[in-house]
Structure 1
Amino acid sequence: MSVPVVLVHGLRTSRTMWRAQVAALADYGHAALAIDLPGHGARRGERFTLAGAVDAVAAGVDAVGGRALVVGLSLGGYTAIAHAARHPEQVAGLLAASCSTRPLPALVGGWSVLARGIARLPYAGAGLNQQMVDRVLSAEAARDVAAGGFALDVVDDVLREMRAADPLADLARVEVPVWLVNGRFDHFRGEERRFLRACRDGRLVVVPGATHLVSLTAPVRFTRVLLDVVDAVEAAPAPPAR
């Protein structure tokens, strides 16, 4: 039986950002479910907590049979790492993209100051957000991201919660294979070698020409990596009974 895939989106976006990958996985014969984290997509208006985000991933895995390859990007990657450490029985493999930097207090504090400034712009910075989407993404990728709406009011909650996240400690607890996937020009890949060393069974993939939103800025290359990961997880021996 083929392993299903659960996909976890980045900050302010939603499950719709994974449209191209969900379609490719379906063509490849694999069930795929993209979920919304608290405060995002169909769950906008909810308060974001890391514990609630981990619960959302766990519910998604349960919905596809109880064990899956979990794929996350940026915030979704940090959440997927936390989920894998807390629910090992649910995870056949982990692909954590664009999240190879620790959320240190100085970094999170700087982002908090920037986020508060943007929030004071008209319509909570919706215009600036749209300019960045139009500038960075192709028209097709921009449509996919916009389809689920943008969670412009969730940033403070996310940054507060990320102060307590410890992805290196979590990765050290993950027993299944881990793929760290980063765009060549991703500003969040600064500690990728440290993240790789934290993994018990890890490998690093750098996607040429891609930036932080690697699945959107290089969708074909990222999807090829994802399908290779699916094949590797399928070929891995079944875990021993607990």
Structure 2
Amino acid sequence: MNRPTGSRAAPRARIVLVHGIRTSATMWRRQLAALGAHGLDVVAVDLPGHGARIGGAFSVDEAMTIIDEALNPTDAPTEHTATPRLLVGLSLGGYLAIEFAARHPDRLDGLVAASCGTLPRGPALDAYRTIAAAIARLPDRGRWLNDTIAETFLGRESAADIIAGGVALDVMDPALTAVGELDPRGALARVQVPIWFVNGRLDHFRLQERTLLQAASDARLVIVPGATHLVSLTRPDDFTAIVLGAVAELDRRAAARRRATAEPRRIGAARA
């Protein structure tokens, strides 16, 4: 896991960042720095078969365990136990974040699901898997193509962030197969925390964003102008601002719950 260094004082929120397919925790470098500077306890994880775990098998269940351990660390200081927990996932990480929120409604307080506005099934998924299989048959398994596309469309700095943790060239088919077995729409109906859907206006994975939005009971959709699929990299400051806004909303809700809990006690004390 990657996290910025800082004090052990109780943070305003604990944030876990979950990367997209083939990338790693290093893609969140700018968010780690910016959110950490706001006094937030922020950590980026490597999914199975990615980053520090390259070479391992991908599985949804292991991904759930990795996310939970980051959101709810057993060694957290006592003063951190009431800290709001925000899960942020992009693309593959977004689908997994939705699944985690549905499976473990009491293990987080808010969810940012970015760049996952298409149901991962049917012809679109089949086409993606076919392209991935063709790329994997290249002599270098597609590494040159991956790096060139990243630098062309993201710029040298963002491309370096993606590549720094390694490129998981062998994980495409197992990860796509596993995600294709998920039911994001059904999962969203079970999510009990507020959701922020975040998509770049130029993202090609926005096909069913309204369908997914309507499946959730407490959600809002944020469209980032000029951003492509990797919205946190193409518009890092805008993305960070959205996460900070989510933290502020979780703070307001937590304060409202504390007031609602304290009011009956205050009234009871006054009558006594």
The TM-score, its normalising length taken from structure 2, stands at: 0.85
CA positional deviation for 1:106: 2.0
1:104 paired residue number: 121
Q: 5 Å matches for 1:12-27?
A: 12-27=22-37
Aligned AA (1:43): R
Q: 5 Å matches for 1:146-225?
A: 146-225=163-242
Is the CA contact 2:147–2:163 (under 8 Å) kept in the aligned structure 1? Answer: no
- Separation in 1, partners of 2:229, 2:22: 14
Q: Aligned residues, how many?
A: 241
Q: What is the RMSD of the two structures over their aligned residues, measured on CA atoms? A: 1.7
2:105 paired residue number: 88
Moved more, 63-72 or 12-21: 63-72
- Separation in 1, partners of 2:68, 2:180: 22
- Separation in 2, partners of 1:54, 1:169: 17
CA positional deviation for 1:136: 1.1
Instruction: Kindly indicate whether residue 138 of structure 2 is the aligned counterpart of residue 128 of structure 1.
Output: no
- Separation in 2, partners of 1:165, 1:12: 19
The TM-score, its normalising length taken from structure 1, stands at: 0.95
2:264 paired residue number: none
Aligned AA (1:150): V
Aligned AA (1:3): A
- Separation in 1, partners of 2:124, 2:63: 21
CA positional deviation for 1:233: 1.2
- Separation in 2, partners of 1:107, 1:175: 29
- Separation in 2, partners of 1:30, 1:159: 32
CA positional deviation for 1:105: 2.7
Instruction: Kindly indicate whether residue 42 of structure 2 is the aligned counterpart of residue 51 of structure 1.
Output: no
CA positional deviation for 1:144: 1.2
CA positional deviation for 1:138: 2.2
- Separation in 2, partners of 1:6, 1:15: 10
Aligned AA (1:61): L
Aligned AA (1:202): A
Aligned AA (1:205): V
- Separation in 1, partners of 2:177, 2:127: 12
Aligned AA (2:61): A
Specify the SS of the correspondent of 1:133.
helix
Structure 2: segments with no counterpart, 5+ residues: 1-9, 262-272
1:37 paired residue number: 47
Specify the SS of the correspondent of 1:90.
coil
- Separation in 2, partners of 1:182, 1:51: 26
Q: State the Cα deviation string for residues 203-223 of structure 1 (Å, max 9, x = none).
A: 000000000000001111111
Aligned AA (1:44): I
